[in-house]
Amino acid sequence: MSSKTDIEWHLTTRPPDHANRHLRAVRYLVLAGFCLLPLSGCTSLVIGAGATAGVAALQERGLDGAVSDTAITAEIWQKFLSKDEKLFLDIEIEVVEGEVLLAGRVPSVADQLEAVRLSWQVDGVRSVINEIDVGSGMSLMDSAGDLIITTRIKTALMFDGDVFAINYSIETVNGTVHLMGIAQNERERERVISHARETSYVKRVVSHIRLKDDVNRQGT
């Protein structure tokens, strides 16, 4: 189910120190937004994570599910930061109904395994999908390219009247697109995957999209 473009990026310039500091500052501010709000204040937590309660309620997982997933994400980030700042900076986290996707690139297998171990320590985690690559760090240009890919796919989903875009999360790492979410039916799932595959510079698409009526979904 994977596809590769004939165009490959060869941008290997290491990010300057000020770029790393900027990324670090952004992550700290986001995590601070989580931490300043009490986990018992569910609606406030969702708003602090960048979504309104109304938007969360419209998702297939519902308001309670969105709040729980946001809390899980915040706690995993806190564990990464407490253990090793590099884990916090190098790994992206997506959580849908307690299913945790870890994507990114770390220097060693030990770092990869540690990220998985820490994720399992968080209450509410039902499964951990390990999509972390092991190797040298990505350049600033690579990261910018991944962000462009993710933005293009999200835009395509929003303008597709046959896709309920609010139900999907997308992470792109070194041209590999990771899809998570809940599809209304098989046709919608295939449309989402197709949009990702047809986006320029995408090397590979990995789908972890569940169907709405999947018996393995929490609460079904």
What does CATH list as the number for 140-211?
3.30.1340.30
Give the pair of three-digit tokens for residue 202: 């995408």
Three-state SS at 133: strand
Domain map (residue ranges) of the chain = 17-134, 140-211
> What is the value of pTM for the model shown?
0.70
Q: Of the candidates 44, 104, 39, which has an alpha carbon nearest to the alpha carbon of residue 71?
A: 39
Q: Is 32 within 8 Å of 78 (Cβ atoms)?
A: no
Q: Is 113 within 8 Å of 87 (Cβ atoms)?
A: no
- Tell me the pLDDT of the chain (220 aa) as tens digits: 444 333 333 333 334 444 444 454 445 444 544 444 433 333 333 434 444 454 555 577 677 788 889 999 999 999 999 999 889 989 999 999 999 999 999 999 999 999 999 999 999 999 999 999 998 767 778 788 999 999 999 999 999 999 999 999 999 998 999 999 999 999 999 999 999 999 999 999 999 999 998 887 755 4
